[in-house]
């Protein structure tokens, strides 16, 4: 009896699953034939990782061999899960980094070593435990293991989506939360929407479990304080730092809780602030000035990202700085650098609208690199010594390639943006030019404090970045607006208390 027949017998009492898998297997056979007719160039253009002997049929054989190694496992659910893995690897596209999901119910598979086994188990979580809510996207390939032995799961333009989310953003009535002794109850006023929220909305965020309440850029007013809270009072304007950390791991013990080994972020891995009232530990609340608007207060979180990023270079006073990418974060990085004393700041983008916003916010040099060479622009702005540091706030192979190619030898590049996939950059040049490539991750409390100070001192301007405001009931319309106006939208704000 073959593997397929054996598993079919195993799940014979579940006809709906059996039929689904038979259909998937037939689709896989068709996909295999189509792939065999594609040239290597076509495969490469579609994001396939092609290596001799790593064909679609070869991957199918590998997975079949894995099934044989599960003979000592009695639970039919595990074997069914492995068949779902076949479906994942051969029938549909998975986000490249969705494999990062942790799996608690099913231990790592005893195949291909610990790392590979863990990867397979993570995918099973997506396909089995989350299948009713998670969307598997068409536009990215999933890397099959942590090493290259099995290559990439072959992405497919006509691939089947396991489950669409299609505008499933629901409003739910819940009780006002009870406040613990060390907590405060915040009446949420405004919520900012960022790019990561849009990724969650479309089911593309690699580290989010569904369903989830969103909201992490927030401002509000304290409505109630727990009995052990002494540093805040009712009616006080505040913002919330959305990180939830363990306090026990090495980074946490050394003050770098933004790098916590168990880090969760409100609105992604734990409940977000998109509610009329939100109970939160007082330790995660930061006061904002009474004369700061709630719209500005909701933008302190992205400003803290920029502040932390700029600080990776240390003291930037008197430096010449280039920022690649004039979106909200890039704009705030450029403003923060100027506010912290940079001598001159140049910002680049391919959007005239975003560059106009940067100019409105006081950035010295704004360059559209569709019309001017990046290297020439740096020399024009700063002379032959070019920039002391380049902040990449766009995060793609082109922008990081520009930074490495044109950076002054021995200078610094700070990656602020999050790459969507595996980077392909010329590290040989980086090595030859002794470039110092740094990265940055979120923020800490002092970054909030410094960001608020910069706004108070008039050195950072937040209001010009607000593109549109929506009422709480129109949350979905806000997402749709951003989708329809990506090139002209900077920051969208949700007014939670507006009817």
Structure tokens at 166: 């299609």
pLDDT above 50: residue 60: no
Angle in degrees, CA 238, 360, 375, rounded to 5: 110
Predicted pLDDT of residue 356: 97
pLDDT at 159: 27
Measured CA to CA in angstroms, residue 370 lies from 9, 351, 363, 478 at distances of 60, 9, 19, 30
Comparing 229 with 93, which gets the higher pLDDT?
229
- Which residues, at least 6 apart from 96, have a Cβ–Cβ distance to it below 8 Å? 140, 141, 142, 143, 206, 420, 421, 422
Nearest alpha carbon to residue 433 among 458, 455, 411, 457: 411
Confidence of residue 196 (pLDDT cuts 50, 70, 90): confident
- Residue-wise pLDDT for 410-422, tens only, equals 999 999 998 867 8
Question: How big is the CA angle at 267 (ends 199 and 186), to the nearest 5 degrees?
Answer: 145
User: Does pLDDT of 178 surpass 80?
Assistant: yes
The per-residue pLDDT for range 270-308, each reduced to its tens digit, is 999 999 999 999 999 999 999 999 999 999 999 999 999
The pLDDT tens digits of the residues spanning 76-120 come to 444 444 444 444 444 433 333 333 332 222 233 333 334 434 444
CA–CA separation, 360 and 383 (whole Å) = 24
pLDDT at 74 over 50: no
Average pLDDT over residues 399-416: 97
* Angle of CA points 324, 434, 423, to nearest 5°: 50
* 360 — pLDDT class (breaks 50, 70, 90): very high
Question: What distance in Å separates the CA atoms of residue 417 and residue 392, rounded to the nearest whole number?
Answer: 6
Q: Which residue has the higher pLDDT, 394 or 46?
A: 394
CA neighbor of 289 nearest in space, from 324, 238, 254: 238
Among 150-154, 156-160, 430-434, top mean pLDDT goes to 430-434
Burial of residue 246, with CB atoms counted within 10 A of its CB: 0-12 exposed, 13-18 middle, 19 or more buried = middle
pLDDT in tens, 155-172: 222 222 223 333 467 777
Cβ partners under 8 Å of residue 73, min gap 6: 79
Q: For residue 208, what pLDDT is reported?
A: 76
The fraction of the chain above a pLDDT of 70, given in percent, is 65
Q: pLDDT band at residue 12, thresholds of 50, 70 and 90?
A: low
Q: What is the pLDDT of residue 204?
A: 66
Q: What is the pLDDT of residue 195?
A: 86
Average pLDDT, the chain: 75
Q: Which residue has the higher pLDDT, 24 or 225?
A: 225
Among 351, 433, 420, smallest CA distance to 390 is for 433
Question: Please, where are the H alpha helices in 202-318?
Answer: 250-253, 294-297, 300-311
- Other Cβ atoms less than 10 A from the Cβ of 295: the count is 19
- The predicted structure's pLDDT at residue 472: 94
Rounded Cα distance between 147 and 119, Å, is 10
Helix H segments across 264-327?
A: 294-297, 300-311
Over 90: is that where the pLDDT of 390 sits?
A: yes
Residue 424: what pLDDT?
86
pLDDT of residue 345: 98
Instruction: Please choose, from the candidates 111, 38, 123, the residue with its C-alpha nearest in 3D space to the C-alpha of residue 86.
Output: 123
- What does the pLDDT read at residue 207? 73
pLDDT band (50, 70, 90) for residue 460: very high
What is the rounded average pLDDT of the residues 114-139?
Answer: 37
Average pLDDT over every residue of 46-74: 41
Mean pLDDT value across residues 207-233: 91
């Amino acid at each position: 009896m073959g593997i397929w027949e054996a598993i079919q017998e195993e799940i014979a009492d579940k006809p709906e699953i059996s039929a689904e898998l038979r259909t998937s297997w037939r689709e896989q056979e068709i996909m295999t034939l189509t792939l065999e007719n594609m040239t290597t160039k076509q495969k490469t253009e579609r994001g396939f990782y092609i290596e001799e002997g790593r064909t679609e049929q070869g991957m199918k054989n590998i997975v079949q061999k894995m099934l044989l190694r599960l003979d000592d496992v009695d639970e039919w659910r595990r074997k069914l899960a492995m068949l779902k893995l076949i479906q994942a690897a051969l029938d549909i596209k998975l986000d490249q980094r969705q494999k990062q999901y942790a799996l608690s119910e099913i231990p790592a598979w005893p195949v291909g070593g610990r790392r590979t086994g863990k990867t397979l188990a993570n995918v099973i979580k997506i396909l089995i435990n989350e299948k009713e809510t998670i969307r598997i996207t068409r536009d990215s390939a999933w890397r099959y293991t942590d090493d290259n032995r099995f290559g990439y799961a072959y992405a497919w333009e006509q691939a089947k989506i396991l489950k669409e989310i299609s505008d499933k953003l629901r409003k739910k009535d819940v009780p006002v939360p009870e406040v613990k002794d060390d907590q405060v109850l915040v009446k949420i006023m405004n919520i900012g929407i960022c790019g990561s929220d849009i990724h969650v909305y479309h089911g593309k965020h690699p580290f989010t479990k569904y369903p989830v309440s969103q909201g992490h850029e927030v401002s509000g007013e304290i409505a109630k304080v727990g009995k052990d809270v002494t540093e805040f009072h009712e009616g006080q304007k505040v913002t919330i730092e959305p990180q939830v950390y363990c306090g026990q791991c090495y980074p946490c013990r050394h003050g770098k809780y933004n790098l916590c080994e168990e880090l969760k972020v409100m609105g992604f891995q734990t409940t977000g602030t998109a509610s009329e009232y939100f109970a939160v530990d007082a330790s995660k609340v930061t006061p904002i000035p009474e004369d700061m608007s709630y719209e500005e207060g909701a933008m302190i979180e992205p400003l803290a990202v920029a502040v932390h990023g700029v600080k990776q270079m240390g003291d930037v006073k008197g430096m010449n700085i280039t920022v690649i990418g004039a979106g909200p974060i890039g704009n705030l990085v450029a403003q923060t650098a100027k506010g912290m004393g940079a001598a001159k700041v140049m910002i680049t983008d391919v959007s005239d609208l975003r560059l106009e916003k940067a100019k409105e916010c006081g950035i010295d040099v704004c360059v559209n690199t569709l019309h001017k060479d990046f290297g020439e622009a740096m020399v024009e702005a700063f002379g032959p010594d070019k920039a002391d540091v380049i902040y990449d706030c766009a995060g793609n192979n082109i922008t990081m390639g520009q930074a490495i190619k044109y950076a002054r030898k021995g200078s610094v590049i700070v990656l602020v943006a999050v790459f969507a996939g595996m980077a392909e950059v010329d590290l040989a040049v980086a090595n030859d030019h002794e470039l110092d490539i740094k990265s940055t991750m979120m923020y800490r409390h002092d970054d909030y404090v410094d960001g608020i100070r910069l706004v108070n001192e008039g050195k950072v301007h937040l209001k010009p970045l607000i593109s549109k405001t929506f009422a709480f009931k129109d949350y979905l319309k806000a997402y749709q607006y951003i989708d329809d106006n990506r090139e002209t939208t900077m920051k969208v704000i949700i007014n939670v208390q507006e009817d």
